Structure 1
Amino acid sequence: MSDLASARYRAAVAVEMRLAGSSYDDISQALGFANRSGAWKAVDRTLGRIQDQKASAYFAETMNDLDMLHERAWAAAMAGDLKAIATCLRAGRMKRRLAGCTCANAQKGRRVSGTAARSGDSSG
């Protein structure tokens, strides 16, 4: 077994032991970590990896849902349906927010008027 595979296996067992109620000292002794800090770090890293995977899956699923919502409303929006237009705009805003793309003016709570937007001045 490679060093990485061995470390991941040991970390997975450490998580199982911790979930079963074992102390970090017990985990450290049972699995050969240098001290309780090593056991804690292994558990923390493993749980962090799991959380990152779940967050990535949630992000992908939510973006897909918003894409489908936008796609379904698009034809009606192009035909002038005001509710469908609002749905498309909302879906776009939600996708940008989820992706972390926000307008600096929106973050400050300011609106940009048409003239100001064309000139690049946000004070108007």
Structure 2
Amino acid sequence: MTGNNVRQPDERLRAQQCLELRREGHTWQEIADQLGYADRSGARKAVERLLDRTEFESVDEYRVLESDRLDALHAAYWTAALDGDLDAAKLVLRISAQRCRLLGLDLPARVSIEPGPAGEDFAVTAARLMTEIMDADARTLPDFLTSDPSSPEVESEPWSNIGK
């Protein structure tokens, strides 16, 4: 990109070259130097943008490659981590966290909302549930909340005497 944030025609090609170099095992800094990025983050961001808009086969291939690399690193430090090497244990945890991000394992759980009882619309269900809650609460609420508010011995707001 240029200073005015207009994408250059060759940007996609250059990002594809970044991805290919990364697949070959080059570091982000090596890729940045070879392809003329200001620093390693430019090369990394170019690949991230490319993967965001690239067909799924390429993304899946890259995920498999990165996952294999993480597996190799994990295996290399696993025994040392289990033997009590604190630095190795920290590295194994970081590798695991990276794998979770790569594979999407740290995404929020999907929630499925099931339809209510057949033939009952939302308003009817809500009214029925509120009635059930009120009936249950009436059996467990303190007396001042279930008494007749017009009765002289019941204050309209029992909490209003706080600080008196």
Give the TM-score normalised by the residue count of structure 1. 0.46
Select the structure of larger CA radius of gyration: 2
Higher relative contact order (CA 8 A, sep 6+): 1
After TM superposition, the score normalised by the length of structure 2 is 0.36
